[in-house]
């Protein structure tokens, strides 16, 4: 799954990327893409039980997108827009980073921090990108029509979408038939992608739980069903660089029971409708990611195509049952290890052992 960090310049995208990728990316001079392990207390618990050689968390691939240039008159704006559109193409989910933190030494591109204004501006900019795409396409279709080429269905579809975008509604808020989705597929729209709002706060704001416009921002986001996560990217990135045994104390001191990245990852999972299942053993305890509604056979395919092809059955238990009983063997003895076929719908938090032959 590919997550794209988008926002105004200096909103904290690189800092958040550094936090998400545990310092692998985002630092000055380092890459703008990195793998972010998804913190998961369930994996930790299973790992304590199995004491495996390796513990592997689910991963999200995070990319920092170019900072949004709002001044369209700026020279090179067209190039910047094309570059942004290109980098957005492969992205599955957007994390919109909004600055709430005050830092006199960090200039704000619009003068001063205003989280709601910035959230709106970026959101409108994304809607505008799609509107431009629709508009250009409609012009082409009109020209084609003059030459006798008719694409009536596509034209009707785009004519229906245009006013929605003009009213500020993102494409993800619209309902499409399968035929319409097929027509839309070749185009790379932005507002079809789910969004999570990450509000980057400073230490004082984190402690007080307040920043200017917080209530309005939450109301605005709730109206659009955009999940909001507040985190202090800079302090949390600093804490992340401490020895592991010291981190919890620093987080607790900030009033955090878990790091902001854990909440952000959960929101992204929810927004994308993803779930995790686990494989366990003395070699490896590992979290895997599938879309909600994935079958046992599809889940097997995430691990290896051989397991998918040679699928015989899945032995399934909820991770909590496994933690309670202590081993897959004990669960089996008690008849609590369920045997499921290839069409079984995998549930979040299940431990699965696949039987297959190759
Ligand atoms: N005080 C404070 N400063 C922060 C925070 N987050 C980021 N900064 C600072 O703000 C500046 C910009 O942060 P970046 O993470 O580079 O922002 P960006 O969005 O990647 O910026 P561009 O890549 O230039 O668009 C840096 O000096 C950061 O140290 C924060 O939570 N608190
Ligand atoms: Mg940056």
- Contact between 259 and 242 under an 8 Å Cβ cutoff? The reply is no
Q: Does ligand 1 have an atom closer than 6 angstroms to the CB of 96?
A: no
Nearest protein Cα to ligand 1, atom 11? 10
Q: Does ligand 1 have an atom closer than 6 angstroms to the CB of 230?
A: no
Q: Does ligand 1 have an atom closer than 6 angstroms to the CB of 13?
A: yes
What pLDDT score does 354 carry? Answer: 96
263 or 69, which is more confident: 263
What pLDDT score does 150 carry? Answer: 87
> How far away, in angstroms, is 30 Cα from ligand 2 center?
10
Q: What is the 3-state secondary structure (H, E, C) of the chain?
A: CEEEEEECCCCCHHHHHHHHCCCCCCCCCCCCEEEEECCCHHHHHHHHHHCCCEEECCEEEEEECCCCCCCCCCCCHHHHHHHHHHHHCCCCEEEEEEECCCCCCCCECCECCCHHHHHHHHHHHHHHHHHHHHHHHHHHHHHHHHCCCCCHHHHHHHHHHHHHHHCCCCHHHCCCCHHHHHHHCCCCCCCCCCEEEEEECCHHHHHHCCCCCHHHHHHHHHHCCCCEEEECHHHHHHHHCCCHHHHHHHHHHCCCCCCHHHHHHHHHHHHHCEEEEEECCCCEEEEEEEECCCEHHHHHHHHCHHHHHCEEEEEEEEHHHHHHHCCHHHHHHCCCCEEECCCCECCCCEEEEEEECC
Q: Does ligand 1 have an atom closer than 6 angstroms to the CB of 200?
A: yes
What pLDDT score does 73 carry? Answer: 46
83 or 36, which is more confident: 36
Query: Hey, what are 36's tokens?
Result: 């972010």
Please give the model's pTM, rounded to 2 decimal places.
0.89
Nearest protein Cα to ligand 1, atom 25? 9
**How many angstroms separate the CA atoms of 272 and 110, rounded?**
31
What pLDDT score does 82 carry? Answer: 80
**Mean pLDDT of all residues in 183-201:** 94
In the structure, what pLDDT confidence band is assigned to residue 71 with cuts at 50, 70 and 90?
low
Domains of the chain: 2-270 (3.40.50.300), 293-356 (3.10.20.30)
Nearest protein Cα to ligand 1, atom 16? 14
Q: Shortest CA distance to 227 belongs to which of 255, 285, 268, 187?
A: 268
End-to-end CA, the chain: 28
> How far away, in angstroms, is 111 Cα from ligand 1 center?
15
Query: Hey, what are 110's tokens?
Result: 């619009």
What pLDDT score does 80 carry? Answer: 76
Tell me the pLDDT of the chain averaged across its residues.
92
Q: Shortest CA distance to 99 belongs to which of 233, 194, 225, 196?
A: 233
> How far away, in angstroms, is 145 Cα from ligand 2 center?
45
* Ligand showing the shortest atom-to-Cα distance for residue 6: 1
Which mutation among 5, 7, 9, 14 tests ligand 1's pocket best, with the greatest number of atoms within 8 A of CB?
14
State the closest ligand 1 atom to the C-alpha of 11, by its place in the atom list counted from 1.
19
> How far away, in angstroms, is 12 Cα from ligand 1 center?
4
């Amino acid at each position: 799954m590919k997550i794209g960090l988008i926002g105004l310049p200096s909103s904290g995208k690189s800092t958040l990327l550094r936090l998400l990728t545990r310092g692998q990316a985002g630092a000055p001079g380092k890459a703008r893409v990195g793998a972010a392990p998804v913190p998961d207390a369930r994996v930790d618990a299973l790992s304590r039980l199995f004491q495996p050689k390796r513990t592997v968390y689910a991963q999200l691939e995070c990319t920092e997108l170019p900072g949004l240039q709002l001044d369209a008159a700026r020279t090179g704006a067209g190039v910047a827009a094309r570059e942004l559109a290109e980098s957005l193409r492969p992205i599955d989910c957007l994390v919109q980073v909004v600055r709430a933190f005050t830092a006199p030494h960090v200039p704000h591109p619009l003068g001063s921090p205003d989280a709601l204004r910035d959230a709106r501006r970026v959101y409108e900019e994304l809607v505008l990108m799609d509107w431009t795409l629709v508009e250009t396409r409609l012009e082409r279709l009109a020209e084609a029509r003059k030459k006798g080429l008719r694409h009536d269905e596509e034209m009707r579809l785009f004519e229906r979408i245009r006013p929605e975008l003009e009213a500020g509604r993102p494409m993800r808020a619209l309902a499409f038939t399968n035929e319409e989705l097929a027509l839309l597929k070749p185009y790379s729209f932005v507002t079809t992608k789910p969004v999570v709002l990450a509000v980057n706060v400073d230490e004082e704001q984190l402690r007080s739980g307040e920043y200017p416009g917080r209530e309005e921002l939450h109301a605005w986001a709730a109206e659009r069903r955009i999940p909001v996560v507040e985190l202090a990217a800079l302090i949390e990135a600093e804490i992340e660089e401490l020895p592991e045994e010291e981190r919890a104390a620093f987080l607790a001191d900030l009033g955090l029971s878990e790091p902001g990245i854990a909440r952000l990852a959960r929101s992204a999972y929810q927004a994308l409708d993803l779930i995790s299942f686990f494989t366990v053993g003395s070699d490896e305890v590992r979290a895997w990611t599938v879309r909600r509604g994935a079958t046992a056979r599809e889940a097997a395919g995430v691990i290896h195509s051989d397991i998918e092809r040679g699928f015989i059955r899945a032995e399934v238990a909820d991770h909590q049952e496994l933690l309670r009983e202590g081993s897959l063997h004990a669960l089996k003895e008690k008849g609590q290890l369920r045997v499921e076929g290839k069409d079984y719908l995998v549930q979040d938090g299940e431990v699965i052992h696949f039987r297959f032959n190759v």
